[in-house]
């Protein structure tokens, strides 16, 4: 009897990796075994994954030996870093290198690296449209991931590069939801510069990653960008309004004003939105809802996501 292939999932207790673990376990054909890596195997989230049928293992991206143990015997590995926990691009790069090296040592056949663009390939450091941050970055949480792409190549890790989109959950957890405007009306305020925004239900990123693993190894070396839908600010506001039964307008916040809001990461996010607006159609082409639906036929539209999540959105 052939043994089932193991997929080790970094970030298994988080949004992207959690979606992947649940997708692996929800497959009625149970093609793969889900091995969920976490620093805290006793946490509620880790226990919930174990109850669903995942093999939960201890591991830490800051501890290379623990990665090698967790990747041993795995066919596939999903790699993600969490910039927002420490906001250090250098640490993110070190973690990515440790993961890439551990996949090589373990002889992993297919790696998915959850990456983003190194924006400095488009906007050089001396281009003052975006202020330079932390001395050598334009969008630190993008740049460090994109800069780590070559590390996976250097380690000869058989890698599919997965580009995530803006999670619609940011409207719930990241303080980006609608807020009280003048009178009774609500306002969705984001710095989009008139651009449309590729967005996705966070759970769908993992489901798309599962679609990549299911396809086999054809996508190795490719960049696959996922999105649920691409919408303008006024379109998102109107859809939110219809779901919440409130009038919601859209305010396109100037990039400088957003960068100046003073919360941790405001400059990084302001630069991110401006980068996306500068790239325009090139950015939109890099995240394809059609391809995402091929990988994950259950892909949610924004309306479907709103219907499921309207009750979780708080008005600031």
Ligand X SMILES: NC(=O)c1ccc[n+]([C@@H]2O[C@H](COP(=O)([O-])OP(=O)(O)OC[C@H]3O[C@@H](n4cnc5c(N)ncnc54)[C@H](OP(=O)(O)O)[C@@H]3O)[C@@H](O)[C@H]2O)c1
Q: Where does this chain bind ligand X (CB under 6 A)?
A: 10-17, 38-40, 43, 60-62, 80-85, 141, 164, 166-167, 170
Q: Which residue, among 13, 56, 77, has the nearest Cα to 212 in the 3D structure? A: 77
Nearer of residues 43 and 307 to ligand X, judged by Cβ? 43
* Distance of closest approach, residue 113 Cβ to ligand X, in angstroms: 12
* Distance of closest approach, residue 184 Cβ to ligand X, in angstroms: 29
* Distance of closest approach, residue 12 Cβ to ligand X, in angstroms: 6
* Distance of closest approach, residue 151 Cβ to ligand X, in angstroms: 16
* Distance of closest approach, residue 96 Cβ to ligand X, in angstroms: 10
- Name the residue with tokens 């195997």: 41
The three state secondary structure string of 268-308 is: HHHHHHHHHHHHCHHHHHCCCHHHHHHHCCCCCCHHHHHHH
Instruction: From residue 201, give the alpha-carbon distance in Å to each of 105, 182, 221, 223, 302.
Output: 34, 30, 25, 20, 8
Nearer of residues 16 and 119 to ligand X, judged by Cβ? 16
Nearer of residues 218 and 263 to ligand X, judged by Cβ? 263
Q: Which two tokens mark 203?
A: 């759970």
- Name the residue with tokens 């980006």: 176
Q: Which two tokens mark 64?
A: 């290379």
Cα(202)–Cα(165) distance, rounded to whole angstroms?
9
Q: Which residue is nearest to ligand X (CB)?
A: 14
Cα(299)–Cα(312) distance, rounded to whole angstroms?
20
Nearer of residues 130 and 164 to ligand X, judged by Cβ? 164
* Distance of closest approach, residue 244 Cβ to ligand X, in angstroms: 21
- How many other CB atoms are there within 10 angstroms of residue 266's CB atom? 14
Strand order in the sheet with 32-38: 55-58, 32-38, 5-9, 76-79, 110-115, 159-163, 223-225
**N residues, the chain:** 316
Q: Which residue, among 100, 273, 303, 102, has the nearest Cα to 193 in the 3D structure? A: 273
Cα(260)–Cα(263) distance, rounded to whole angstroms?
8
* Distance of closest approach, residue 166 Cβ to ligand X, in angstroms: 5
* Distance of closest approach, residue 128 Cβ to ligand X, in angstroms: 24
Nearer of residues 116 and 237 to ligand X, judged by Cβ? 116
- How many other CB atoms are there within 10 angstroms of residue 218's CB atom? 9
Nearer of residues 142 and 250 to ligand X, judged by Cβ? 142
Nearer of residues 40 and 150 to ligand X, judged by Cβ? 40
Nearer of residues 2 and 191 to ligand X, judged by Cβ? 191
């Amino acid at each position: 009897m052939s043994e089932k292939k193991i997929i080790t999932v970094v970030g298994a207790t988080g949004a992207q990796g959690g979606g992947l673990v649940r997708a692996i376990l929800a497959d009625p054909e149970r093609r793969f075994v889900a091995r969920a890596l976490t620093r805290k195997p006793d946490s509620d989230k880790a226990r919930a994954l174990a109850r669903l049928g995942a093999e939960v293992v201890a591991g830490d991206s800051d501890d290379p030996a623990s990665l090698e143990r967790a990747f041993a015997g795995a066919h596939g590995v999903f790699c993600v870093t969490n910039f927002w926990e420490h906001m250090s691009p250098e640490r993110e790069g070190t973690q990515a290198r440790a993961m890439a090296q551990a996949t090589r040592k373990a002889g992993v056949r297919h790696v998915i690296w959850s990456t983003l663009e190194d924006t400095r390939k488009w906007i050089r450091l001396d281009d003052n449209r975006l202020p330079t941050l932390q001395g050598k970055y334009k969008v630190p949480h993008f740049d460090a991931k994109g800069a780590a792409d070559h590390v996976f190549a250097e380690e000869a890790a058989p890698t599919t590069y997965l580009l995530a989109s803006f999670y619609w959950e940011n409207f719930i957890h990241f303080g980006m939801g609608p807020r009280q405007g003048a009178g009774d009306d609500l306002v969705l305020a984001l710095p989009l510069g008139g651009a449309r925004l590729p967005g996705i239900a966070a759970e769908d990123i993992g489901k798309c990653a599962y679609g990549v693993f299911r396809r086999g190894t054809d996508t190795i070396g490719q960049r696959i960008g996922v999105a649920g839908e691409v919408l303008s600010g006024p379109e998102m506001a109107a859809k939110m309004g219809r779901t919440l039964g409130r009038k919601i307008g859209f305010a396109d916040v100037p990039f400088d004003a957003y960068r100046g809001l003073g919360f941790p990461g405001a400059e990084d996010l302001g630069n991110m939105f401006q980068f996306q607006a500068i790239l325009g159609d090139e950015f939109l082409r890099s995240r394809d809802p059609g391809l995402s639906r091929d990988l994950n036929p259950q892909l949610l539209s924004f309306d479907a996501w709103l219907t499921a999540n309207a009750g979780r959105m708080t008005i600031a």
